[in-house]
Amino acid sequence: MSVPYPSSDGGISVELGKNPSVPGSGSGKVDLFPIANQDFQKIKTLKDLALRNITLAQFPVVKAWRDKLFAPEGTPEICDELPRLLTEFLRRPENQALPPYTRRAKALQHIFANKTAIVKADDLLPGQTATSFVGPVVYADTIGYCIWPELKTVTTRAQNPFKIRPEVADRLNREIFPFWLEQKPVQELARYSDYDSAGYENRDRVAGSYPPSIDPPLRKRAGQTPKAQELMERVAFFLSDKATCVSHTVPDFERVLKYGFDGLIERARQDIANGVAATAQQIEFLEGVIAVYDGAKIYAQHLAEAAVQAGNQELAAICRKVPAQPAETLHEALAVVWICYHLLLQENTNFGFSIGRLDQILNPFYLADWQKLDGATAQDDYSRRAVELVSHFFLHCSDHVPLSTSGSETLFAGSGSNQALTVGGTRYENSQVVDAVNDMTYIILKATEILSIRDPNVHARYHRDVHHRDAQGKPLPTEVMDPYLRRICQVNILTRATPALHGDAAVVPAMASYYAAHTGISAEEALADAYDYTSIGCIEENAAHKHYGNTGSTLMVLPAVLELALYGGKHRSDGVAVKSPNLFYGDARYTTQPLTAIDTMQAFIEAFKFQLNEMARHVVQCNNYFGRFYEQSRQSPFLSGLFTGPTNTPDSDGASFRDVSAGGAKYNSAGIAVIGLADVIDSFCVLDTLVFAGKISAGELLAAMQADFDENTLQPKSAWKAFLARVQNWLHPEDVPLSLPNLSKERLKQIKEMVRLAPKYGAGVDQTPGGIYNNATAVKYTHLLTEMLQEVFAQYRTHRGGRYLPGYWSMTNHAGFGMLTKATPNGRRSGESFASGITPCPGVVKANGEPVNLLDHMLSVTSVNANTVQNGYTYNLSLTTRDRGHFEEDTELFSRYMKAFADQNGVLVQMCVSSINDLVAADRAATAAGQSGAGEAEHKALEPFKDLMIRVAGYSAYFVTLSPQMRKEIIQRANFGLDTGAEQHTLNAI
């Protein structure tokens, strides 16, 4: 089995046959083929869109920095600067006495003004997120204190250890964390406070086709833990990110580039002086925004001083000017973006905080610089300089990682900060859709290619009609691939995992319909804003700096809802016998009929929808409950000052003068990331075609699940074990197991085979009655479930206003949640991973047992209506290319598949271009190096795989940093040969 090609200068070099071996150094290099610029009206400065004359070797500082990321120096080191400065400010009694919003703003001003300014002699951009080379940032006012019990063990844990200096550990242990025990983060503040949802205003502005909004009532006294919070803390049902972060959004860097902080401060002061900010609360808000702007200016001056000390006069001059004043050059513009970005990470958690359409932001500066140069040589050199500047920006974005405990490593192992960066796509100008691909698009793609690193999380937007045209604007023949798509696919093969691809034709109408439902927003304005969407965090799509979507507000486990429908509102973790408690109310009644008492598939669907409504109500209660305390205690004045809605600019009016955490943004929503969709679709297919078709009984299916689909568990109990079971049942009747049929081994084998051949999501969209490949049942339940989830959540309003929007992306938690979930009707065994994102389950076959092919898989996904996934979805497509001699042919084939995905209204596809054997070899090396007692040989064997980048479920990660469970899940995913479209697991033994 052949493997993909590495970058010409970055990335690992691996060439494995069917018997994996250690990669040889220097093997596998590949020469880029050129992609000619055919339209100099659009791309003005680049002859070759692949920029093959630019290599990583030309940037020694960049190369050394990248190498260091994968060396021992790249092990993240915990930095306590942020919690130390915040604690220092809040310890002062005079600061504790300040009004809450003023206290928060002044605290951030103090942090900005006292943050260590780090500039090195060879830096092109100033400052670092933390003081360490790579730093997990400790957000003590959310859940940073959770690392407290692990301060002595975090350096030696097997998976993703952190370094920590003894003095840092001592300060955290003795000074910082004890203070925050008394301060109470959001989750505990909510628990120990009175709460009544009826006491809060309705901020919802969404109407149109949406039903009247519901804020599910919740009332409790201080010290009580509401059921919604209790369920969240059990982890197996849903998790609310509101307790930890609200970072899933994109700020407005352009206003700082255009006006500078001085211009923004002047406008805010005018709004106060002129009475435009009319209330005391609005004035306090603006004064808070001014305070953080001032703090950012002080920090920039400190950066200038540090640059002088380092002998970096160029950066010193830049920091004396920006971000206080408007930017004029590409270098200044990138400095502004980086300074603002890493200061925003002092205010908001570094998880899902995204960068936006960087090529659209930077291109005017790049062109202005380029046009001032004389001669082709100087201009070519400047294009190379632009790649170098962007490469420095990428590497700066790698200077921070989320702070993860050993427990969170199970759910989120290997995740970076998920800082999405978007290129390409389209814009809406003068009532026309226009191509937005520009020179900086290709410069950013070049940096992506030569670095091949995890952060930032790069995404490319593609419009099936707009981009598939020639220089004269005429549609290209079907068999001809446009240069932009070819370059995206070329980069993807070289990096193995990035960029992901969004389909504008599917995404824009879905987002525009939501925006147009807002009071006061015309259809034209909604469309223009939707065309300016950007990827958020993993893969979610929001209008840049206008839509505060908090897209990662909740992760909900859909198979938990399925379980409640199977067992009448009871969950196996609590017992599912007649006297066992139901999940939501705690008494013994069935809230819907259990499967054994249901006669029709329609009745089961109704039971499922009832349980989904119950779960959704608790999800919303929890998010709104936490959100209202977040609004009171952890506001975001800096983000609010860099967002459309809360504040005015010198040439805009109509601001709400309200923090983004309180609904100040132009558009608001909350995202629900639904986990395990494919497992539930396939389970519905099994129930419909086997149970309610009379081929197996409900009891037999539940008995097969109880046996974990394993014939070896059917051994009869010994007399002693049977006696102990009877005693246990007498003492605890609520734990009495269900009375289910006794399956023979032969009958269980028959059931397993029928389940394997039942209709499945991923087996195609053929709906020909009686046809050999008819998969109409799976198509039916794909639509039914996604539409049901959209309908259920769209009725609920968030605490900020706006609605709850479902999407399907799972990071690595589909593996973590799977570990907590017993067997499911689709044949998935206890503890196994759920399918990732919206991707079909592994091992899917057609009804006659034939393997699925790539188009079956892809068209099953694109059949999902984009209007039902307004919080985005991630389709994880794993491919195996041929040898490097077929690089150009493989790129062409890759492009055709990506064009097919976009043509069929696909929302997002992310590609993992690695062979199965390649992954198996890396997994073996990681497992050996992670064993206690692993020596130099094992760690040396791991070295070639350290930068093997993989696409997980919404972001890229380094494969060997993932948990063993997650590595296994990725290896088991359907993997298709690019040249044949055949599923590789069916062709090659692992």
Write the DSSP string, 243-298: GT----B---HHHHHHHHHHHHHHHHHHHHHTTSS-SHHHHHHHHHHHHHHHHHHH
Residue 404 — pLDDT band, cuts 50, 70, 90?
Answer: confident
Q: What is the pLDDT of residue 8?
A: 39
Supply 820's token pair: 């907590």
Supply 578's token pair: 């007649």
In eight-state DSSP terms, residue 647 is B
Torsion angle of C-alpha atoms 251, 255, 256, 261, degrees rounded to 10: -110
- Identity (one letter) of the amino acid at 363? N
Distance in angstroms (rounded) separating the CA atoms of residues 800 and 670:
9
Residue predicted with more confidence, 183 or 667: 667
Residues in Cβ contact with 178 at an 8 Å cutoff, skipping those fewer than 6 apart: none
Long-range CB contact pairs, 645-649, < 8 A, 24+ = 645/546, 645/548, 646/285, 646/289, 647/264, 647/267, 647/268, 647/286, 647/289, 648/267, 648/268, 648/271, 648/276, 649/255, 649/258, 649/259, 649/263, 649/264, 649/267
Distance of CA 832 to the CA centre of its chain: 21
CB neighbours of residue 64 within 10 Å:
11
Phi-psi region of 28 (alpha: psi -120 to 50; beta: other; left: phi over 0): left
Residue predicted with more confidence, 13 or 649: 649
Q: What is the pLDDT of residue 732?
A: 65
Residues in Cβ contact with 472 at an 8 Å cutoff, skipping those fewer than 6 apart: none
Distance in angstroms (rounded) separating the CA atoms of residues 251 and 990:
46
Residues in Cβ contact with 525 at an 8 Å cutoff, skipping those fewer than 6 apart: 515
Q: Is 163 helix (H, G, I), strand (E, B) or coil?
A: strand
Beta strand spans in 914-974 (E) = 949-951, 956-958
Write the DSSP string, 795-856: TBBPTTSSEEEEEB--TTHHHHHHHT----TTSPPTTPPPPPTTPPPTT-B-TTSPBPBHHH
CB neighbours of residue 485 within 10 Å:
23
Residue 884 — pLDDT band, cuts 50, 70, 90?
Answer: confident
Q: What is the pLDDT of residue 14?
A: 31
Which of 137, 81, 133, 132 has the alpha carbon at shortest distance from 110?
A: 81
Residue 414 — pLDDT band, cuts 50, 70, 90?
Answer: low
Q: Which residues pair with 807 in a beta bridge?
A: 673
- Identity (one letter) of the amino acid at 695? K
- Identity (one letter) of the amino acid at 466? V
Q: What is the pLDDT of residue 22?
A: 31
Distance in angstroms (rounded) separating the CA atoms of residues 421 and 416:
13
Enumerate the H helices of 669-807 as residue ranges: 677-686, 698-706, 719-731, 745-757, 776-794
Do the beta carbons of residue 920 and residue 971 sit within 8 Å?
A: yes
Q: What is the pLDDT of residue 411?
A: 64
Distance in angstroms (rounded) separating the CA atoms of residues 386 and 363:
10
Q: What is the pLDDT of residue 30?
A: 58
Distance in angstroms (rounded) separating the CA atoms of residues 901 and 89:
53
In eight-state DSSP terms, residue 465 is T
Which strand (E) or helix (H) includes residue 462? Answer: strand 457-462
Q: What is the pLDDT of residue 957?
A: 87
Which strand (E) or helix (H) includes residue 401? Answer: strand 400-401
Rounded to 5 degrees, φ, ψ at 58 are -75, -10
How far from 81 is each of 114, 172, 633, CA to CA, in Å? 10, 10, 21
Beta strand spans in 845-929 (E) = 875-880, 908-913
Residue 731 — pLDDT band, cuts 50, 70, 90?
Answer: low
pLDDT tens digits, one per residue of 587-638: 999 999 999 999 999 999 999 999 999 999 999 999 999 999 999 999 999 9
Q: What percent of the chain has pLDDT over 70?
A: 94
Mean pLDDT of the chain: 93
Q: What is the pLDDT of residue 175?
A: 95
Distance in angstroms (rounded) separating the CA atoms of residues 503 and 460:
9
The number of residues in the chain equals: 990
Which of 797, 320, 115, 752 has the alpha carbon at shortest distance from 517?
A: 797
How far from 258 is each of 230, 362, 390, CA to CA, in Å? 47, 12, 20
pLDDT tens digits, one per residue of 931-969: 888 899 998 999 999 999 988 877 888 999 888 888 999
Distance in angstroms (rounded) separating the CA atoms of residues 528 and 546:
12
Which strand (E) or helix (H) includes residue 459? Answer: strand 457-462
Residues in Cβ contact with 913 at an 8 Å cutoff, skipping those fewer than 6 apart: 4, 492, 493, 496, 497, 878, 879, 880, 881
Distance in angstroms (rounded) separating the CA atoms of residues 364 and 383:
14
Residue 6 — pLDDT band, cuts 50, 70, 90?
Answer: very low
Q: Which CATH architecture has domain 227-244+549-803+813-820+835-870?
A: Alpha-Beta Barrel (3.20)
pLDDT tens digits, one per residue of 418-438: 899 999 999 999 999 999 999
Write the DSSP string, 191-245: HTS-EEGGGS-----B-TTSPPPB----EE-TT---HHHHHHHT-SSEEEGGGT-
Rounded to 5 degrees, φ, ψ at 771 are -70, 155
**pTM, two decimal places:** 0.95
Domain locations in the chain as residue ranges: 227-244+549-803+813-820+835-870
| Section 342-349 average pLDDT | 96
Write the DSSP string, 540-580: EEEETTTEE--TTSEEEEHHHHHHHHHTTT--TTT--STTS
Residue predicted with more confidence, 26 or 856: 856
Distance of CA 562 to the CA centre of its chain: 24
Distance in angstroms (rounded) separating the CA atoms of residues 648 and 297:
19
Residues in Cβ contact with 972 at an 8 Å cutoff, skipping those fewer than 6 apart: 833, 842, 843, 985
Q: What is the pLDDT of residue 728?
A: 65
Distance in angstroms (rounded) separating the CA atoms of residues 925 and 928:
5
pLDDT tens digits, one per residue of 563-596: 999 999 999 999 999 999 999 999 999 999 999 9
| Section 505-534 average pLDDT | 98
Distance in angstroms (rounded) separating the CA atoms of residues 631 and 101:
9
Which strand (E) or helix (H) includes residue 429? Answer: strand 426-429
Residue 182 — pLDDT band, cuts 50, 70, 90?
Answer: confident
| Section 214-241 average pLDDT | 96
Enumerate the H helices of 707-758 as residue ranges: 719-731, 745-757
Which of 718, 538, 888, 50 has the alpha carbon at shortest distance from 726?
A: 718
Q: Is the pLDDT of residue 645 over 90?
A: yes
Whether the ω angle into residue 499 lies within 30 degrees of 0, i.e. cis, is yes
Supply 438's token pair: 């520009």
Q: Is the pLDDT of residue 800 over 50?
A: yes
Q: What is the pLDDT of residue 726?
A: 67
How far from 5 is each of 445, 514, 785, 918, 979, CA to CA, in Å? 17, 42, 39, 12, 15
| Section 386-408 average pLDDT | 93
